[in-house]
Amino acid sequence: MENINEYCSDIDELEKKAGEWKGKRMDAPEIEMHGGIVMMKGKESLRDSWQAPRLVAFSNEEARPGYATKKAHEYEDEPHVLKSKVKELARLITASQNLCAYTGAGISTSSGIGDYASKAKETVALQKKRLKNPYLAKPTLAHRVITALYHSGNLKRWVQQNHDGLPQKAGLPQEALNEIHGAWFDPSNPVVPMSGSLRGDLFDDLQKWTKKG
């Protein structure tokens, strides 16, 4: 957490380059836009200062057809809001005793592994060209940062919905990981199809860390 100002300096550079943000603001409950932190007692100042994200990529397609879904628009926080969120996240991580990461497809898109829900033609997601062989994907910066949080003693558990093995490639020990939807590299934990059922012990572990967190 001691390098938080360095990350915020990077956001300052983003703000200089962003110019005037003109996209339509998201119209949604605050808890959907900013997370449960804004609903906590004593966090009224965050609720007042964190503006709604702006639309940066429009899509007429549904993000997840067949499920409770929304249009696959993409939104971004303005840089000063993002900077405030980074600092609040660092504070929460430092104060936490049972920090658990819960990640999905978006964490791996910049490694060249495509995701299911990104449909906007003018996507701003950090995506590389899709790999012909996703088994050869390398960990992203996000995988390495989360792994570093584990080795620093901050992160206690990582529940990952992906099958790609990138946390382990980043140096996370297997015992710290719950591959809840199955794994490409673990024959004892086959990938769970949409119509399948989660492995009982992994689901119990998920519930355990939901309560502990």
Rounded Cα distance, 94 and 154, in Å:
7
- Which of 73, 143, 163, 181 is catalytic? The answer is 181
Which contacts of 120-126 are long-range, i.e. CB under 8 A and separated by 24 or more positions? Answer: 120/57, 120/58, 120/59, 120/72, 120/73, 120/74, 121/57, 121/59, 122/57, 122/58, 123/57, 123/74, 124/56, 124/57, 124/74, 124/76, 125/74
Cβ–Cβ under 8 Å, residues 177 and 167: yes
Q: Please indicate whether residue 181 is annotated as part of the active site.
A: yes
User: Euclidean distance between the first and final Cα of the chain, in Å?
Assistant: 20
Q: What are phi and psi of 44, to 5 degrees?
A: -60, -35
E strands, 104-175, are: 155-160
Rounded Cα distance, 189 and 52, in Å:
40
Rounded Cα distance, 4 and 29, in Å:
29
The catalytic residues are 181
